[in-house]
Structure 1
Amino acid sequence: MSDMTSAAEAPRSPGRPRSSRADEAIVEATLDLLAEGSTIEALSIEAIAARAGVGKATIYRRWPGKDALLLDALRRLKGVLPNPAGHSVRDDLVLLVGAVGHNIDPRAAKIMPCLVPEVNRSPDHFRLYQNIIAPRRQLMREVLRRGVRLGELRADLDIEVAMALLTGPMLMQRMLRWHPELDDVLLPDRIVDGVLDGIRAR
């Protein structure tokens, strides 16, 4: 009797525990559909649920809507943020420039270029894109500001323009293969050294 009483008095767990396998299946289904050519507009929760083998309610228990799910899926595609060591402004910039447009997941080569026209067409998708890249942009901004603070870079440096100078060539090369003969491994060093020639303190 005492066993039954203690069992009845034990607190119940608040519903079914969240399944990490379901989370993974939903995110993977989202990326697969995008890689297969689905646009953001055409992508539906119904299609994602069917591909992942879950119900729509399972998705809505995890994400409030499609945009929140897309944000998580595209962040996964981009991978973890680089971690600058903080010892050398040059080395930190090479690390960050090397991460521009670099994705281990092969689906990124199909997904990211297709997002560009959608980002340009839709203010909502533009905000989604900005939410993905803003933390990466902030990392580079902090490295450049540190360089100014330590006297390594010009005191009058335009931080935002410097970021554009550093990231633009790498993004163009990685997304469009603009110059096939450029060495992708050495390019981050060459870009950083070229820009530093103009922005170093005199």
Structure 2
Amino acid sequence: MTIQETGTARPAGRPRSEKAEKSIIEATLDLIGEGMGVSELTIEAIASRAGVGKTTIYRRWSNKEDLVVDALSTLKAPLPPLAGTSVRDDLIALVDAMRREHGQARSRCVMNIAMSEADRYPQLFERFLKRAVEPRREAMRQVIERGIASGELRADLDVDMAQAMISGTMLWHTKWGPAGDLSLDLAERVVDAALAGMAP
């Protein structure tokens, strides 16, 4: 796995080690998951946990914020393939990706701790949202707009409100819903409940 998009050109030199890079990413997530906030996190601590030198980290990331963005982004699985056969099927695929992510205790813990510091590191989290969240939001928007165009959804549907209803309901289940209610059919239930008010 190769992590990119730090916004800086890679310096020439010795070949990069994917093993070292993975160790650094894992060390960063481990430390955050153990309760270390972004403000407390240091390159020294990450290097020590990963078993690498600080220069190995700085060879890949110019600062801590770049590394944290990359580490958090690995918790977001790639967008699921969308068949395009029906709005319902595509929405279920997108929402089920949320269910799978939040079903992993480590991912949930790390994201909760990291997002709690969004006010202190607004630029860091703006970059994370742009990189990891916006593509999903845009994918859902396109599915809903396609549904309006095809007549599967109401012509007067408020697209932003529809997105909020679907995503917000899923977030409620993952954060505040009944314990353990991340059953395999949750995405289907969420989407069907939402579509009941969106159909023509």
Alignment of 1:9-158 (within 5 A): 15-103=13-101, 105-131=104-130, 132-158=132-158
- After superposition, what is the alpha-carbon deviation per residue over 1:111-161, rounded to whole angstroms, capped at 9, x for unaligned? 122233212454224314412211111111111111112121122221111
Moved over 3 A (4+): 180-183
Deviates more, 1:60-69 or 1:87-96: 60-69
- Looking at structure 2, the residues matched to 70 and 64 of structure 1 have their Cα atoms a distance apart, in angstroms, of 11
- After superposition, what is the alpha-carbon deviation per residue over 1:82-124, rounded to whole angstroms, capped at 9, x for unaligned? 2211111101101111112532754113212223321245422
- With over 3 angstroms needed to count, the CA separation of the structure-2 counterparts of 1:65 and 1:121, relative to structure 1, is closer
- Looking at structure 1, the residues matched to 17 and 167 of structure 2 have their Cα atoms a distance apart, in angstroms, of 38
- After superposition, what is the alpha-carbon deviation per residue over 1:16-56, rounded to whole angstroms, capped at 9, x for unaligned? 11111111111111111111111011111111111111121
- Looking at structure 2, the residues matched to 43 and 69 of structure 1 have their Cα atoms a distance apart, in angstroms, of 11
- Looking at structure 2, the residues matched to 144 and 101 of structure 1 have their Cα atoms a distance apart, in angstroms, of 19
Q: Residues 87 and 143 of structure 2 are in contact (CA less than 8 Å); yes or no, is this contact kept in structure 1?
A: yes
Q: CA deviation at 1:72?
A: 1.5
Specify the alignment match of 2:171 in structure 1.
171
- Looking at structure 2, the residues matched to 72 and 57 of structure 1 have their Cα atoms a distance apart, in angstroms, of 18
TM-score, length of structure 2 as denominator length: 0.85
> Residue 54 of structure 1: SS of its match in structure 2?
coil
**Aligned residue type for 1:114:** I
Deviates more, 1:98-107 or 1:160-169: 98-107
Aligned pairs, number: 187
Q: Residues 144 and 159 of structure 2 are in contact (CA less than 8 Å); yes or no, is this contact kept in structure 1?
A: yes
Q: Residues 67 and 128 of structure 1 are in contact (CA less than 8 Å); yes or no, is this contact kept in structure 2?
A: no
Q: Which runs of 5+ in 2 are unaligned?
A: 1-11
- With over 3 angstroms needed to count, the CA separation of the structure-2 counterparts of 1:180 and 1:28, relative to structure 1, is closer
Q: CA deviation at 1:168?
A: 0.9
> Residue 93 of structure 1: SS of its match in structure 2?
helix
- With over 3 angstroms needed to count, the CA separation of the structure-2 counterparts of 1:174 and 1:161, relative to structure 1, is same
Q: CA deviation at 1:190?
A: 1.4
- Looking at structure 1, the residues matched to 170 and 148 of structure 2 have their Cα atoms a distance apart, in angstroms, of 23
- Looking at structure 1, the residues matched to 62 and 167 of structure 2 have their Cα atoms a distance apart, in angstroms, of 33
Taking only the aligned residue pairs, the percentage that are identical comes to: 46
